[in-house]
Structure 1
Amino acid sequence: MPVKVFGSPTSAEVARVLACLFEKDVEFQLIRVDSFRGPKRQPNYLKLQPRGEALTFEDGEVTLVESRKILRHIADKYKNQGYKDLFGPGALERASIEQWLQTEAQSFDVPSADMVYSLAYLPSDMPLDGKKANTGGFPSAGMHPAHRQKTEEMLQLFEKSRKELGKLLDIYEQRLDQEEYLAGNKFTLADLSHLPNADRLAADPRSARLIESRKNVSRWWYTISGRDPWKRVKELQRPPSAEAPF
């Protein structure tokens, strides 16, 4: 019985799991669930996930809903197939991977998601000089007060996220000056877990500078994002009409 993944491949949580399944050559069935359809969602899915979260993973009798727990499950259960270094060969390697997995979950995930969220509201030609964002550079004449307030809130969120990510990526820059990947000289779950949100940052010029301005982080990003499993996830993220056969 193949593994089942319920969710949208455009969700960061789902994309993280799909990348891991592809890395491990695990057969799976993707049941696309639109998180925004409310009562129209599949009844069977709502039995698994009553609150309608973005991701549900089934593997036999195992049902999980948190992407990083799912990564550990896949890498451990299917350790002898596909790419074999995702979780490390021993306790020392695994401890380093766990450290960086926690860093991604606790320090990278929220500010990167917040930045992507804020950019969805902000002008595509907003200043990119790295100075404190303010509404002075944006035309506000005729702007509805509620819209103006929302724009100001998003600018503040963008600036806060930029500072947090900048400090964190400075740490990554130092680490990646010593090692090819975060947890050592091989690609692991520590790197894979960053793919969905980092991909969104790299795709927007307003946030891509966070990666491109750091030589080692940039090298690391282009290496991990160029892996075939992630390219396959990107294929699944295309609209169905443009999607490649799977």
Structure 2
Amino acid sequence: MGIVLYHLDASPPSRSVLMTLKALKLEFEIKPVDLFAGEHKKPEYLKINPRGKVPALVDGKLQLSESRAIIQYLINKYAKGADKALYPDDPDKRVLVDMELYISEIVFEAFLGLNPPAMLLKGEKPSKEKVEAVQKCLKDINDRLEGKQYLAGNTLTIADFSSYASVVFIKILIDDMGKIPNVEAWMQRMQKLPYDDEVNGQVMKKLAVMLQEKLNPKKQTQF
């Protein structure tokens, strides 16, 4: 049995794993997990990921959950040559990646604070406080990117995958992301990755359409 990714395309952590798999050009199978149908709480899935969240990854007899652990594992096991720079062996460089991976959890929590399901399914707008919390988070990313092309330096790493997967979704959900020129330049660099459109771009386009339909419903004509 090869690599199997249990995946939800709207999930930032899940897409960060998919980006890593694509970056490494690995062969793998995707098994979609329908959260709305409760598939993440079924016994067969809980045997793989007892927390009942996405993503999960199975590689042979190894069953993994937690996206950051998964992407670290994939690089440690499968990266060769230049791909090792995605999670460098040098302790001084690796610790910067680890630090940004921990910080990416803050980015994800800010994203969750917007309550994306309520926005996409019900057209509910987030509170001013939640939007301001996201803007503050983006400002922090902007500051950390000062003088750098990527989060952990001038080389792409898995830390970029982890935060970018949330930020690209945040851009769909709120109109005003604040003054973040470094983040915008970083996002443009990320969008040039050959697998970004497949992993993120196409999904974000669909979600943007969903959001606009909920926020601006067509008025029914009355006769």
TM-score, normalised to structure 2, is: 0.78
Q: Which residue of 1 aligns with 2:28?
A: 28
SS of the residue aligned with 1:194? Answer: helix
> Structure 2: which amino acid aligns with 1:114?
G
**Counterpart selection for 1:223 from 189, 195, 217:** 189
Q: Count the aligned residue pairs.
A: 204
Q: Please say if 1:160 is aligned against 2:129.
A: yes
1:193 to partner: Cα distance: 0.3
Counterparts of 1:54 and 1:75, CA distance in 2:
19
Checking the alignment, whether the CA contact within 8 Å between 2:40 and 2:53 is kept in structure 1 is no
Counterparts of 1:183 and 1:40, CA distance in 2:
33
> Structure 2: which amino acid aligns with 1:110?
E
Q: Which residue of 1 aligns with 2:111?
A: 112
User: CA 1:122 to 1:87, structure 2 compared with 1: closer, same or farther past 3 Å?
Assistant: same
Q: Which residue of 2 aligns with 1:145?
A: none
SS of the residue aligned with 1:34? Answer: coil
Q: Please say if 1:74 is aligned against 2:40.
A: no
1:103 to partner: Cα distance: 0.8
Counterparts of 2:126 and 2:149, CA distance in 1:
34
Percent identical across equivalent pairs? 24
1:200 to partner: Cα distance: 1.2
Counterparts of 2:40 and 2:136, CA distance in 1:
42
Please list the CA deviations of residues 30-88 of structure 1 after superposition, one character each: whole Å capped at 9, or x if unmatched.
01221222379876434323554222211122211111110110111112167332112
SS of the residue aligned with 1:178? Answer: coil
> Structure 1: which amino acid aligns with 2:198?
R
Q: Which residue of 1 aligns with 2:91?
A: 91
> Structure 2: which amino acid aligns with 1:163?
E
> Structure 2: which amino acid aligns with 1:32?
P
> Counterparts in 2 of 1:42-191, with a 5 A limit?
44-49=44-49, 52-80=52-80, 83-105=83-105, 107-115=106-114, 117=116, 119-120=119-120, 155-156=126-127, 159-191=128-160
1:120 to partner: Cα distance: 3.6
Counterparts of 2:126 and 2:176, CA distance in 1:
17
Counterparts of 1:64 and 1:114, CA distance in 2:
26
User: CA 1:114 to 1:226, structure 2 compared with 1: closer, same or farther past 3 Å?
Assistant: farther
Q: Please say if 1:199 is aligned against 2:198.
A: no
> Structure 2: which amino acid aligns with 1:112?
F
1:14 to partner: Cα distance: 1.7
| Structure 1: segments with no counterpart, 5+ residues | 124-150, 240-246
| Structure 2: segments with no counterpart, 5+ residues | 207-223
> Structure 1: which amino acid aligns with 2:172?
A
SS of the residue aligned with 1:29? Answer: strand
